[in-house]
Amino acid sequence: MKEILRIQGLSAGYGPLGVLHGVNLTVHAGERVGLVGLNGHGKSTLLRAIVGLTGWQSGSIRLRDQEIGGTRSQGPGRYTHRIVRLGLALMPQGDAIFHGLTVADHLDSGAFTRRAWRERMARRDRVLDIFPPLRALLKAPVGKLSGGERRMVSLARGLMADSSLFLIDEPSLGLAPKISKGLIEALTQIPLDDGAMIIAEQNLSLLEGYVTRLVGMHGGKLKGGGDALSAVALGAPH
């Protein structure tokens, strides 16, 4: 199977604080990987390191044979837009939305490649089919939406471009269980084709049946070195 992402020896953190310690992870095309672990053990930092948003990092991150990692001691976010343009979408915790802009503006802002911008109307339609509730809210400023709707906007925005690797950070955070379930279901409807998806989630039970593989994170390291792990082993308390 084709390799989408290969992370080797990735360490990262913020200032004096080290969060990740030598993480190795390989993701192949067609996979939906569930990244599970307790709060504060580095799930978000791993996803942020992939797009270059940590304070510092070292180690190799290859996205389809292109190196996007490397050693960096400063400048969080300096290369993020270039990495994202290679076909990567991160839906971060807190959604990183633009409060004053409308839902339509958000969707358009996700269409950053030339082709995506030209086709943005057609793409809007396609994305709205995945998140039907947004259709009625196109003209509403996102600051006025509910938490679940904001999460949908953040996800929908990530789907506007030609991304092939989706990184989704805690889709259930702060949402009612029923809404979380619906969101996860919507996520699994996104066609992956040649791409892959990593979903970081604390709530293991939410992911059951929706991901092809689970990876555990503990103390800034991946359990079992990032290879397939059984959900049973992960479910056991450490």
Report the interface residues with another protein, using CB under 8 A.
51, 53, 74-78, 80-82, 84-85, 90, 92, 95-101, 105, 108-110, 112-113, 117, 157-158, 161
Instruction: In angstroms, give the least distance from the CB of 127 to another protein.
Output: 13
Residue 198: exposure state from Cβ atoms within 10 A (0-12, 13-18, ≥19)? buried
Residue 130: exposure state from Cβ atoms within 10 A (0-12, 13-18, ≥19)? middle
Instruction: In angstroms, give the least distance from the CB of 110 to another protein.
Output: 5
Instruction: In angstroms, give the least distance from the CB of 145 to another protein.
Output: 13
Instruction: In angstroms, give the least distance from the CB of 214 to another protein.
Output: 25
155/229 with CB nearer another protein: 155
6/106 with CB nearer another protein: 106
57/222 with CB nearer another protein: 57
Instruction: Give every CB contact of residue 222 below 8 A, 6+ residues apart in sequence.
Output: 23, 24, 25, 215, 216
CB contact at 8 A, 61 and 12: no
153/229 with CB nearer another protein: 153
Instruction: In angstroms, give the least distance from the CB of 178 to another protein.
Output: 27
Strands (E), the chain: 3-14, 17-28, 32-36, 56-63, 66-67, 88-91, 165-169, 196-201, 213-218, 221-222
20/56 with CB nearer another protein: 56
